Amino acid sequence: MENFILECCVDSVESAIKAQEGGANRLELCGNLIIGGTSPSIALYEEVRKHTNIRIHALLRPRFGDFLYTDHEMEILRREVALFREAGCDGVVIGCLTEEGELNMPGMQMLLAERGNMSVTLHRAFDVAKDPFKVLEQCKELGINTILTSGQKNSVLEGADLICQLVEKAEGKVDILAGAGVNAAVIEKMLAKTPLTSFHMSGKVTLDSGMKYRKEGVSMGLPSLSEFEVWQTDPAKVRAARTVLENA
């Protein structure tokens, strides 16, 4: 296959370097991947930019949880879009919903007004929206470039039927980027089921912390999460996914 997208979501410079090493041709840069991703810092973006030469799209999400944002959160998002545009980022990954599960059109228009020449992806807020086909048409109307989706399921394999319909109804006007549970084997199965050309993965492995002294009984966050584990992209997993796409 030619002209495919293999996007790797990363939240560190080390993961970004390893994703590029493995053959990713685009990065989704975020913070706190362990909770689904939040907005990265400009400093993280700049350091990743120094050490990679592929496209970087910044995920902008002010907090963990739903996509019903307050006025303060929307202002933070608006300013972040502007800051990443000014920093030279290639794209942003954004989304906001109403309390009824509709796309927040005024909110999206406000954010898009700051985009400049950046590409825009609607993130997986899409997957918890009420009517995916209505949102797809709204994305066309707004000029959004990409929709990241699992087909409104927990994994792309479960959502393959909807993803296939979305690709057809997008009519080439919006790229459908399949993400959630993606690896080389899943890509191979999805290519047999759908006309997809764009995939989103983390390719992560869990590494043990380098800390030798470990204070017991003190948690910095959720007690279920260990402070002594590090998520990092495995270039071998990314390379295996790229090989499947190249050979398709």
Q: How far apart are CA 166 and CA 226, in angstroms?
A: 38
Model confidence pLDDT, tens digit, residues 176-217: 999 999 999 999 999 998 999 999 999 999 888 888 888 787
Q: How far apart are CA 211 and CA 218, in angstroms?
A: 15
At residue 174, φ and ψ (nearest 5 deg) are -135, 130
Residue 35 has pLDDT above 90, yes or no: no
At residue 218, φ and ψ (nearest 5 deg) are -125, 120
Q: How far apart are CA 178 and CA 171, in angstroms?
A: 16
Q: Which range among 68-82, 107-121, 194-208 shows the weakest confidence by mean pLDDT?
A: 194-208
pLDDT at 101: 97
pLDDT at 64: 93
Q: Tell me, what DSSP letter sits at residue 130? A: S
Q: pLDDT-derived band of residue 136, with 50, 70 and 90 as boundaries?
A: very high
Q: pLDDT-derived band of residue 171, with 50, 70 and 90 as boundaries?
A: very high
Q: Which of 35, 34, 77 is nearest to 58 (CA)?
A: 77
Residue 224 has pLDDT above 70, yes or no: no
